């Protein structure tokens, strides 16, 4: 029988998500990779329990996580809940998403229709054995569906009691502003946008999405904070055969040039001077952005979760450190 660590809330930092009343842990657990079909369930369970024992209350899923066996990550998470974690449901923030290709035919492909979003959320709740999720996201902007329809589908999920809050993912500044205007008319509890963002992927800053979110009360829950593992100590000396790049399990492997390795080593030197690993500094750097409420970190083993959570032990940056980091990133 699982009993959570009684000290789980001692060290974690919790941030308000935008201007909402909901607080999210500075570090959340993303179940995109390594939690679906083919994963060793005992490891999946151990990672989820380790996360909660460290104060991670937010578990982020999507209908298609576990691809090519879509839904298998949610199924496994439902099993984790059944084996002890469900007793702590009121201490958990569980989110899921819909928007990418999910099932055969025109109603389950990549879209934002009311038909797809409604059916998908019902499926997700059944897989996890839940009456509601805390956040339901539209996973990707759909240019072929009127935003009013997508917004109304999300709003309807709140009215039906199937989600408490709604969010969007992979929407830029202009798209966020457009759908937020609709949500304001509907009085929908829209609180969060989930974009990719990292030291090596700064489109959020270039687009102005982060500034918009600060001004308009929307939180950012950012994913891929370690840029597919680049911002760890895995590649400081080249490409290990068992790494994601070594296995060809990432679409950005070609970016790992000698110049990139040199940049990563310079960043690692700054992190070491701060008493942090490169990955921990990368997480802390994101949390330094006022728009960011939480950083979604994936994992393949519990030790990675433990490492990432340690980022909250040093979230402050001096002006000199920020300048040094900026110089390296722009080199």
Q: Which two tokens stand for residue 113?
A: 């229709």
- pLDDT one-digit tens code per residue, 211-255: 999 999 999 999 999 998 899 998 898 766 655 555 555 666 678
Q: Read off the pLDDT band of 331 (50, 70, 90).
A: confident
Q: What do you get for the CA distance between the two ends of the chain, in Å?
A: 52
d(CA 163, CA 229): 32
Average pLDDT of 1-9?
96
Whether the link from the prior residue into 265 is cis, omega within 30° of 0, is: no
Q: Residue 83: count other Cβ atoms within 10 Å of its Cβ.
A: 14
Tokens, residue 74: 């949610």
| Residue 100 pLDDT > 70 | yes
pLDDT at 235: 85
Report pLDDT for 250: 61
* CA–CA separation, 66 and 72 (whole Å): 5
Range with lowest mean pLDDT among 6-20, 60-74, 251-265: 251-265
Whether residue 264 contacts residue 279, with contact meaning beta carbons closer than 8 Å, is answered with no
What was the pLDDT predicted at 67? 83
Phi-psi sector, 101: left (phi>0), alpha (psi -120 to 50), beta: beta
**Residue 23's beta-bridge partner residues?**
16
Extract long-range pairs of 206-212: CB within 8 Å, 24+ residues apart.
207/172, 207/173, 208/173, 209/172, 209/173, 209/176, 209/291, 210/289, 210/290, 210/291, 210/292, 211/291, 212/173, 212/176, 212/177
How far is the C-alpha of 4 from the C-alpha of 320, rounded, in Å? 40
Can you tell me the distance from the alpha carbon of 297 to that of 283, in angstroms, rounded to the nearest whole number?
A: 9
pLDDT at 258: 87
Q: Domains in the chain, start-ordered, CATH in brackets?
A: 14-233+279-316 (3.20.20.100)
257 confidence band (pLDDT: 50, 70, 90): confident
Q: What is the pTM of this model?
A: 0.95
- What value does the mean pLDDT of the chain take? 95
User: What's the pLDDT tens digit per position in 137-173?
Assistant: 999 999 999 999 999 999 999 999 999 999 999 999 9
């Amino acid at each position: 029988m699982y009993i959570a660590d009684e000290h789980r809330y001692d060290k974690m930092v919790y941030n308000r998500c935008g201007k909402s009343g909901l607080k999210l842990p500075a570090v959340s657990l993303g179940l995109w990779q390594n939690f679906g079909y083919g994963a060793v369930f005992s490891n999946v369970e151990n990672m989820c329990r380790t996360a909660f024992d460290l104060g991670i209350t937010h578990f982020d899923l999507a209908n298609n996580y576990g691809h090519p066996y879509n839904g298998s990550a949610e199924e496994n998470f439902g099993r984790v809940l059944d084996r002890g974690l469900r007793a702590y449901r009121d201490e958990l923030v569980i989110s899921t998403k819909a928007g990418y290709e999910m099932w055969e035919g025109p109603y389950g492909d990549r879209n934002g229709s009311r038909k797809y979003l409604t059916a998908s959320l019902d499926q997700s709740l059944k897989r996890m054995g839940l009456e509601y999720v805390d956040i339901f996201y539209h996973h990707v902007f759909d240019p072929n569906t009127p935003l009013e329809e997508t917004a109304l589908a999300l709003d309807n999920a709140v009215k039906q009691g199937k989600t408490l809050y709604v969010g969007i993912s992979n929407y830029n500044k202009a798209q966020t502003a457009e759908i937020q205007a609709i949500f304001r008319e509907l009085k929908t509890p829209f609180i969060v946008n989930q974009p990719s963002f990292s030291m090596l992927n700064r489109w959020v800053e270039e687009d102005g999405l982060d500034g918009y979110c600060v001004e308009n009360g929307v939180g950012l829950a950012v994913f891929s904070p370690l840029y597919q593992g680049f911002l760890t100590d895995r590649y400081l000396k080249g490409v290990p055969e068992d790494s994601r790049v070594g296995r060809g399990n990432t679409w950005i492997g070609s970016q790992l040039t000698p110049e990139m390795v040199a940049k990563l080593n310079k960043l690692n030197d700054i992190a070491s001077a701060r008493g942090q690993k490169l990955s921990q500094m990368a997480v802390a750097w994101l949390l330094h952005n006022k728009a960011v409420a939480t950083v979604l970190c994936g994992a393949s083993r519990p030790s990675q979760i433990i490492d990432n959570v340690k980022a909250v032990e040093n979230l402050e940056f001096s002006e000199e450190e920020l300048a040094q980091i900026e110089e390296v990133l722009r080199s």
